Amino acid sequence: MRMREYQQLFDLSGRTALVVGAGSGIGEACAQGLAAHGARIICADLDVEAARRTADAIERDGGEAKQLALDMRDAASCTAALKEVGAPDALVITPAINVRKRASDLTDDDVRRVFELNLVGTFRLMREFGRAMADSGRGGSIVVFSSIRAQVVEPGQSIYAATKAGALQLARTLASELGPSGVRVNAVAPGVVETPLTAQIKNNPEWYAAYAAKSALGRWAKPSEMVGAVIFLCSDAGSYVTGSYLVVDGGWLAQDGRFTPPL
């Protein structure tokens, strides 16, 4: 490859990216970041007005975007989205919910609610759009947000962690099945990120500080710090990366606690 070709590895001009959960948090940041690299963005969210605000912000900055109402928990909504969008070049799936209770206190309804969005909804999108991307003959990239909780847990995280581990295994399986069609599938694993999902922790100073201290960098991440991984995986820079678990956690998984022994 020549220098100019290397310079273009992250260029997404002429490509379409469907970002699910684009109304806020990590999804919003990913939509803006992908647009900044030239992609046409479809901002999908259950809250279509939030998706519209993200799309409008992208267009004000010179990008191309539109909003789409999408409820991952509803099969008909996903089918309608597929009919409208067709096969995108990239699909980024960010939404998730959590119910923080000890496993013995979880109700069947708690389990159903978390599984229906985090795992069933995620799988539904991966299946439908993955099939369309494979059939298009153009290939493409699917990025699903897992979590460090796919690997490590704490009290109150059982059902959330199970769904995030499940999302990782779905990504790996679809990477294997869709690889021959040129569709790459990868999982991004954030550590602690300041989003609406983590507002409960952020509002508790002791809890917030404890999580910050657990990472090697000693702080929480901003949603924008997840964008680089997504652009890499959606672009030609990641053309030989599939089935991966890309950890973006400030060193949380790399170290065993924050105690510094007297060496």
Contact assessment for residue 184 and residue 92, using Cβ atoms and an 8 Å cutoff: no
Q: Is residue 208 part of a domain?
A: no
Identify whether 102 is part of a domain: yes
CATH number at residue 176: 3.40.50.720
Please state whether beta strands 183-190 and 140-145 pair in parallel, antiparallel, or not at all (unpaired): parallel
> What domain range is 119 assigned to?
13-193+224-248
| Rounded percentage of the chain residues whose pLDDT exceeds 90 | 88
pLDDT in tens, 215-224: 999 999 999 9
Query: In whole angstroms, what is the distance from residue 102 CA to residue 156 CA?
Result: 4
Better pLDDT: 258 or 180: 180
How many domains does the structure of the chain reveal?
1
Determine which one of 6, 160, 211, 245 is catalytic.
160
Query: Could you tell me if residue 257 is inside a domain?
Result: no
The answer to whether position 157 is within a domain reads yes
CB 83 within 8 A of CB 132: no
Give the mean pLDDT of the chain. Answer: 95
Q: Is residue 89 part of a domain?
A: yes
Each residue's pLDDT tens digit, 77-113 = 999 999 999 999 999 999 999 999 999 999 999 999 9
- The answer to whether the beta carbons of residues 188 and 246 sit under 8 Å apart is yes
208 is catalytic: no
Q: Is the pTM of this model over 0.85?
A: yes
Q: What is the pLDDT of residues 14-70, one digit of tens each?
A: 999 999 999 999 999 999 999 999 999 999 999 999 999 999 999 999 999 999 999
pLDDT at residue 259, as a whole number: 64
In whole angstroms, give the CA distance from residue 209 to residue 203: 11
- 117 and 95 in contact (C-beta within 8 Å)? yes
Q: Give residue-wise pLDDT tens across range 35-45.
A: 999 999 999 99
Show the 3-state SS of 122-136. HHHHHHHHHHHHHHH
Sheet order of strands, 245-248 included = 65-69, 40-45, 16-20, 90-93, 140-145, 183-190, 245-248
The helix/strand/coil state of 42 is: strand
Do 22 and 41 form a contact (C-beta atoms < 8 A)? yes
- Within a domain: 258: no
Residue 83 lies in a domain: yes
Q: Is residue 19 part of a domain?
A: yes
